[in-house]
Each structure stands twice: as C-alpha cells, then as structure tokens.
Copies of this chain bind each other. A is one copy, B any other.
C-alpha cells in the first residue's frame, strides 16, 4: 500500500531505515558532500551547484533538516546551511553499528 508498517519493527530498525532513506537520494548526497567540502557555509549556491530547481533543492534541504542532519540560519535574505555536527555523529554511530556487523562467521551458500 505504499505505506511502511513501522509498528512491527524495532525502534533501532526504524531509525536505521529513516537515516538510510534520507541518504537514499543523490541530490541529498550531493548537498551533504557540498556542505562538507565548503569551508564556509553554503546557501542558495546549492541551487547553482546542483542542477535542480530551487523548490526541489529547498524540499531536499527540508528533509535533511527534519532528520537533524543539517541546520540553517537566516542571514539577511539568504539562509546559511551547514552540517549539524552533533547529530551527524549520532547518525554515523548508528549506521556504523549496522554496517560493521561481524561478517567473519558468515559461511554459507
């Protein structure tokens, strides 16, 4: 039904999936990479850098902000976005735990 049955999964599983999902679009990957690469914060440059329309970028930024991975501060008419360090580290920790599951004992098929 296009709807995810979150209630049958653990909080951890849902959290991993939510973080993975927001990273599951190349535009959001590109935005994050850009924010990491630029020393200063980026604002509407993202629209120029990435080849998507302003409302589309704005929407992707919103999703990243909703999960707390970035933060934006208003500076005059423009908005300065940057990585939310603390939340990025938390997200990373959760994802690393999942990715680093012990594969050594796997011996099958």
Binding site for B on A (CB under 8 A): 4-6, 8-10, 13-14, 16-18, 20-30, 33, 35-36, 39-41, 50-52, 71-73, 80-83, 85, 88-89, 92, 95-96, 98-103, 105-106, 108-109
Contact = CB atoms under 8 A, between A and B. Distances in A.
Given A20-B23, A39-B105, A33 B52 contact: no
B99 A96 contact: yes
B17 A20 contact: no
B99 A80 contact: no
Q: Copies of this chain, how many?
A: 2
Given A26-B4, A51-B8, A102 B36 contact: yes
Contacts of A50: 8
A41 B83 CA distance: 40
Given A17-B24, A36-B101, A51 B83 contact: no
